[in-house]
Amino acid sequence: MTEAVQLCLIQEQFLVGDIKANARKIISQSHLAKQAGADIVIFPELALSGYPPEDLLMRQGFINQIEAAINEIAINTAGLIVVFGAPRLHQHELFNAAVVCSEGKVTGEYHKYSLPNYAVFDEKRYFQSGKEPLLIEIKQQKIGIIICEDAWFDEPVQKAKDAGAQAIVILNASPYHRNKHQQRLDMLRHRQKQAALPMFYLNLVGGQDELVFDGDSLVMNAQSELVGRGPDFEPALLHYQLHEDQSVTAVNTPFHQPESDLSNIYKALVTSVRDYVKGNGFNGVVIGLSGGVDSALTLAVAVDALGSDQVHAVMMPSRYTAQMSLDDAAAQADIMSVDYKVISIEPTFQVFLETLKDEFANTEVDTTEENIQARCRGVILMALSNKLGRMVLTTGNKSEMAVGYCTLYGDMAGGFAPLKDVEKLLVYALCDYRNSVKQVIPQRVLDRPPSAELREDQEDQDSLPDYAILDAILRMSVEEDKPRQQIIDAGYEQQTVDKILRMVQINEYKRRQAPPGVRITQRAFGRDRRYPITSGYRRG
C-alpha cells in the first residue's frame, strides 16, 4: 500500500507589501509543519505579497523584491514541498501564481485561470489568465493546484482532473461577508461532486483595509463528506493525510464548528479594527462616546480588538446633551475600564456662534448650527489623535452613511469606521450579542430612542423613517440593486421610497470622503460600490 501524503494547510495572515516578513513567516511555518511530519505545506493565495496588493503590482521594485523572496524561500525550505501564492512576471506578463518550491529551487508554477473582476475584485487590471494545469507528484499520488476563483468554475478543476489529478488543493484569499461560509461550502460540494476528488480549500485570515478574511478553511473527501474545517478569523496549522484510496484523515487537527452569524460579524469588526490600527502604526484609538448605541458598540469592539489600555473615550456634551447620556457613557467606560474624559463643546460652540454672528444675522437656526456642534467634536477628537498618536474611530453606521445623516468634518472625521457596513438594526443585534457574552453596554442605551442630540428633544425618527423601514429599503436598493418600482411593490410607500433613494444619491459626495470601514455585506460603500458624484441619473 502506498504511504499517505501528509498535507499541512497554513491558515495565516500576511501583511500586504511586507514581503520580507511574509517570506520569513512562510519559512518558519514550513519548518513547523515539517516537524509535524508534513510532506507538502500550502499557504494562501498571494501570501508572499499579501492580498490585495493593488497598484503595488505596477512597481518594478515590488516585483523584484518578490523574486528575491521566492529564491530565499526555496533555499530555506529544502526537504519538503512548499506551495504559496505570489505574483510572477513572465515575458512582460504578470500572473497570480501558485509557486512550488522543493529541493532548494522553484520546481513548478500554476497561473490562476479565472480572474475575478467584480465587486471588490479587479484582478484583470493587473494579471493575465493562466492556461495550463499543474500537478504535484508525491508518493505515487498526483495533486492538482488551483487558485480561489478557479474553484467556482468547471474548467480549471476539470483540466486538473484530465491531467491526472487525484486530489485538488485550492489556495484562497476569499474575503468575508455575511453568508459567505455557506456559499463557499455549497460551491465546494458542487465542485467536488462534479470532480469526485478530495478537495483542500485553504483561506487567508486577517483584516486588510476594507476587507477582512475569515479563514474557515475546508477539507472534503471523495465522498463529499466534510472532514476538516478551520477556525473563523484565527490562524491555524491544519494537518491532514491523503490516502491512496482518496480518503482523508485529520492529524491532531480539531474540526471547528462554524459559529453564529452575529458571532462572525462581531469577530469581523474586531479583527478589522485590530489589524487596521496596528497595521498603520497607531498605539491605540480615540472614540467619541455619546451615550448612544453606535458609539457603545464601537467602544466594545475597540476594547475587544486592542485592550482597554489602548482605548481613550471622550464624552463631549453640549447644551442639548441629556444627563442620561452622560450617565450611560460614564457607566460603559467604567465597565470596560477605559481612559475616559468629559470635554464640553459648549465654550467652543459659543466662540463659533460669536465669530459668525454677523454672517448669521437675520437667519433662522437650522442644521448649520447642528453641524457646527458635530465639527467642534471632530476638531477635539482629531487634536487628541494628533497629540496622543491614537487613531480616531468614527461611530456612524451604514444606515446613516447611506442617507447622509452624518456631518462632514464632524462625526465623519477619523481614520477608520468600524460600523460603516453595519445597518442600524444590526447594530442593536450586535449589542445584544456582545451583552450575551458579558454585559458591557447598559441596557438603557439599547432601550432609549436614538438621537444625535444636536437640538432640543431631537430623535432620529424626526428626520428619518422608522429604522425597520429604512434598513429594508436600503438593503433592497444598495445591496440588491432592486429598481424603485420593485421596492414599492414590496409594500413600501412611494413617497418614502423616493425620499430615501434621493437621499442616497445626493449624499454620494459625503461617502466619497468618509474613512474606510470593514465590509461585512455583499455590497458595501467604498471600493465595492462606485457611483459618480456628479450625475443627472434619477433612479428608475
Along the 540 residues of the chain, how does pLDDT read in single tens digits?
Answer: 578 999 999 999 999 999 999 999 999 999 999 999 999 999 999 999 999 999 999 999 999 999 999 999 999 998 899 999 999 999 899 999 999 999 889 999 999 999 998 888 899 999 999 989 999 999 889 999 999 999 999 899 999 999 999 999 999 999 999 989 999 999 999 999 889 999 999 999 999 999 999 999 999 999 889 999 999 999 999 999 999 888 999 998 999 998 899 999 999 999 999 999 999 999 999 999 998 999 999 999 999 999 999 999 999 998 888 888 888 999 999 999 999 999 999 999 999 999 999 999 999 988 898 999 999 999 999 999 999 999 999 999 999 999 999 999 999 999 999 999 999 999 999 999 999 999 999 999 898 876 665 556 656 566 688 999 999 999 999 999 999 999 999 999 999 999 999 999 999 999 999 999 999 998 898 888 888 888 887 765
Whether 295 has a binding-site annotation, put simply, is yes
Question: CATH classification of 5-258, choosing from 3.40.50.10490, 3.40.50.300, 1.10.10.60, 3.60.110.10?
Answer: 3.60.110.10
Given this model, what pLDDT does residue 320 score? Answer: 84
Q: Is 279 annotated as a binding residue?
A: no
Q: 42 and 7 in contact (C-beta within 8 Å)?
A: yes
Q: Is 124 annotated as a binding residue?
A: no
Q: Which residues are catalytic?
A: 45, 112, 148
CA–CA distance, 264 with 177 (Å, rounded to integer): 9
Query: Could you tell me the pTM of the whole model?
Result: 0.93
What is the rounded distance in angstroms from the CA atom of residue 364 to the CA atom of residue 404?
22
CA-based nearest residue to 329, from 286, 380, 304, 293: 293
Provide the pLDDT for residue 452: 60
Is 531 annotated as ligand-binding?
A: no
For domain 265-512, give the CATH superfamily: HUPs (3.40.50.620)
Residue 528: its pLDDT value, please? 83
Is-cis flag, bond preceding 52, omega within 30?
A: yes
Where do the domains of the chain lie?
Answer: 5-258, 265-512
pLDDT for position 526? 86
Cell numbers given for 334:
467604567
Q: 293 among the known binding-site residues?
A: yes
CB 296 within 8 A of CB 332: yes
* CA separation for the pair 248, 203 (Å, rounded): 19
Is 367 annotated in some ligand binding site? no
